[in-house]
């Protein structure tokens, strides 16, 4: 039996100004699939702090032209309230997902109908280029239609503010409020005004690529290693539009694109998940690297903001690097090169609180400020904005495969990251080294780190309570020891406190409130616990540290850390 409220909402769509295909799909669900009808209408697709994300289909809880239209109308209303109706401008981009172009065109049409000038990219483009375009074209906001690395059934709608960063307070909540006020499809202005839509492409591509080239630190070395083989896969996404071109402009002439994954395709036919974090998504590229004897594989997710890499090790085998490893290498490269030429006292870097402490160790060694921010690249962008005109941002990163060099983009940027990591590989080759050997050098100098993320799913109302109870338990009875090492510091981001467990002294943390706990041990380990903001999960980020000098070999240190992380999991989960 279908619940009354769900039937009422479905009938509202049947009787409203919705197209006939939509109504036919609703009637079909009513007759044949009550479960799908329930899933499609039991709630409204929530416009969260970053925008929309959901399964595509018919209904109030699905990504479709009507939910996209309502989100755009709410955003337009907020822009008009905030800036007035004089000269408003918004940039719109999209990725390779199914319906992405259609949703982007609907977005542009609604904006134009509200008297807002819309810059619409001519075809798919990387998300970081949208962030660049917002500032380059002096826009009030930006929108990109993408569901990042989610499965093919999903699509999404991310909103950027005038600084080129994703929404942060107070604009995120204020826009949500305006979107939630749209109670009827009749409130959406659908009629496109052609003169308010301007198609963009090469006029933004070229200056964006020029900015990427401007952060290159050793173009002369790249030219000497121009034939270095590099395998690249866009995983059927937008990276194909600019990553090979950017690498070529930097000077690399032997970029081999994985042909099976080169074509943009929202069905992502060669992968289970179009995510460079997943080893299975990299299989074709790794096979190609072996056949062409390449030492570096680069991969980008569908909207080209995340980069995954694989590197050939001393044993001749390709090794997948984590986001923490790659970010640490880029931070070290950027800081070491800048330190040779200038003081770093007026510069800073940023990482998220769940990202490896190896980056903080490197920053301390170079005497540069390393800011810790909440999880999410929008907080890195916010920090860049806060320091604007005071200190120069050099590089930032997060464990989830996102990095940024320079401040011309205000989001993670896999296009520039691919260029920088390829350049670093060339610089190392000049000195008979590899990315693999440099990472081992960092471990020897700063400490050997092993990280692991574990997500525990707890579905339904009971699951939500179980997650809440776990957080209460950790707060009220925090562990005194983890994996044989004393807990010496506790960060409670919800209470905004840092507690020294040895002295009992408490300091105030300069972070926004968030339901996150962090435990630091005397051995240099870090454990972060936080409920997911988008899924019924609680996440545990484990980071164990060892001094390589205490072990006969790196292999023995790795075995020690593997056992240590296993013990952490047994004690805390």
pLDDT 10s digits, 407-451? 999 999 999 999 999 999 999 999 999 999 999 999 999 999 999
Residue in this structure with the two tokens 């440099």, named with its chain if needed: 438
Average pLDDT of the chain to the nearest whole number: 96
C-alpha span between 21 and 16 (Å, rounded): 13
Beta-carbon count within 10 A of 536 CB: 16
Is the pLDDT at 9 greater than 70, yes or no?
yes
**What is the pTM assigned to this prediction?**
0.95
Mean local confidence (pLDDT), 279-297: 97
**Count of alpha carbons within 13 Å of 436, Cβ hemisphere only?**
14
Q: How do strand 537-546 and strand 526-531 relate by DSSP bridges?
A: antiparallel
Please state the φ and ψ torsions of residue 267, each to the nearest 5 degrees: -85, -10
pLDDT 10s digits, 295-339? 999 999 999 999 999 999 999 999 999 999 999 999 999 999 999
CB-based contact 302:96 (threshold 8 Å): yes
Is the pLDDT at 134 greater than 90, yes or no?
yes
Q: Residue 427: what pLDDT? A: 98
Is domain 43-200 given the CATH code 3.40.120.10 in the classification? yes
Q: Which CATH number fits domain 206-446: 3.50.50.60, 3.40.120.10, 3.30.420.40, 3.40.50.720?
A: 3.40.120.10
pLDDT 10s digits, 52-101? 999 999 999 999 999 999 999 999 999 999 999 889 999 999 999 999 99
Residue 186: pLDDT band by 50, 70, 90 thresholds?
very high
Q: Residue 49: what pLDDT? A: 78
The domain 447-572: what is its CATH number? 3.30.310
Cα dihedral 320, 324, 327, 328 sign = negative
Residue 535: pLDDT band by 50, 70, 90 thresholds?
low
**Residues catalogued as catalytic:** 148
Indicate the Cα dihedral angle 397, 398, 403, 408, nearest 10°. -70
Is the pLDDT at 38 greater than 80, yes or no?
yes
Residue 177: pLDDT band by 50, 70, 90 thresholds?
very high
Residue 402: pLDDT band by 50, 70, 90 thresholds?
very high
Tell me whether the CATH fold assigned to 206-446 matches the one assigned to 447-572: no
Domain layout of the chain by residue ranges = 1-39, 43-200, 206-446, 447-572
E strand residue ranges, 22-153: 51-55, 89-94, 117-121, 141-145
Q: Which percentage of the chain shows pLDDT scores above 90? A: 94
């Amino acid at each position: 039996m279908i619940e009354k409220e769900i039937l009422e909402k479905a009938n509202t769509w049947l009787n409203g100004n919705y197209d006939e295909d939509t109504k036919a799909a609703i009637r079909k669900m009513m007759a044949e699939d009550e479960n799908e009808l329930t899933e499609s209408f039991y709630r409204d697709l929530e416009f969260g702090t970053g925008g929309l994300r959901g399964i595509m289909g018919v209904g109030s809880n699905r990504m479709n032209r009507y939910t996209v239209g309502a989100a755009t109308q709410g955003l337009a209303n907020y822009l008009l309230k905030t800036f007035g109706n004089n000269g408003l401008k918004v940039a719109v981009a999209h990725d390779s997902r199914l319906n992405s172009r259609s949703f982007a065109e609907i977005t542009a049409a609604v904006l134009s109908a509200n008297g807002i000038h819309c810059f619409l990219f001519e075809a798919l483009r990387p998300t970081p280029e949208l962030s660049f375009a917002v500032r380059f074209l002096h826009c009030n906001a930006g929108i990109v239609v993408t569901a990042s690395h989610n499965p093919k059934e999903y699509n999404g709608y991310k909103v950027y503010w005038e600084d080129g960063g994703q929404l942060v307070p107070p604009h995120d909540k204020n826009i949500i409020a305006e979107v939630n006020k749209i109670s009827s499809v009749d409130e959406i202005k659908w009629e496109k005004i052609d003169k308010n839509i301007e198609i963009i492409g090469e006029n933004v591509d070229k200056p964006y690529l020029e900015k990427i080239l401007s952060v290159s630190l050793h173009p002369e070395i790249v030219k000497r290693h121009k034939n270095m083989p590099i395998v690249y896969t866009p995983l059927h996404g937008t990276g194909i539009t600019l990553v090979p071109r950017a690498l070529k402009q930097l000077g690399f002439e032997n970029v081999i694109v994985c042909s099976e994954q080169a074509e943009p395709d929202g069905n992502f036919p060669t992968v289970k998940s179009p995510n460079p974090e997943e080893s299975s998504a990299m299989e074709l590229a790794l096979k190609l690297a072996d056949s062409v004897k390449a030492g570096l594989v680069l991969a980008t997710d569908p909207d080209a903001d995340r980069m995954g890499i694989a590197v050939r090790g001393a044993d001749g085998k390709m090794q997948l690097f984590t986001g923490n490893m790659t970010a640490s290498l880029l931070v070290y490269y950027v800081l070491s090169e800048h330190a040779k030429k200038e003081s770093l006292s007026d510069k800073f870097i940023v990482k998220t609180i769940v990202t490896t402490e190896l980056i903080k160790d490197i920053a301390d060694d170079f005497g540069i400020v390393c800011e810790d921010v909440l999880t999410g690249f929008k907080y890195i962008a916010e920090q860049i904005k806060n320091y604007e005109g005071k200190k120069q941002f050099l590089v930032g990163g997060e464990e989830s495969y996102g990095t940024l060099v320079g401040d011309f983009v205000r989001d993670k940027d896999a296009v520039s990251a691919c260029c920088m990591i390829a350049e670093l590989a060339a610089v190392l080759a000049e000195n008979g080294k590899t990315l693999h050997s440099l990472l081992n050098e960092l471990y020897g100098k700063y400490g050997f780190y092993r990280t692991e993320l574990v997500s525990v799913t707890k579905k339904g109302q009971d699951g939500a309570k179980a997650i809440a109870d776990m957080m209460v338990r950790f707060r009220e009875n925090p562990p005194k020891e983890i994996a044989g090492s004393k807990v010496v510091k506790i960060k409670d981001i919800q209470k905004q406190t840092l507690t020294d467990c040895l002295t009992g002294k408490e300091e105030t943390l300069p972070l926004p409130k968030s339901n996150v706990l962090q435990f630091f041990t005397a051995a240099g380990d870090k454990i972060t616990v936080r409920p997911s903001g988008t899924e019924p999960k609680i996440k545990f980020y484990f980071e164990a540290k060892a001094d390589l000098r205490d072990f006969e070999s790196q292999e023995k240190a790795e075995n020690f850390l593997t056992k240590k992380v296993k013990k952490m999991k047994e004690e805390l989960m």
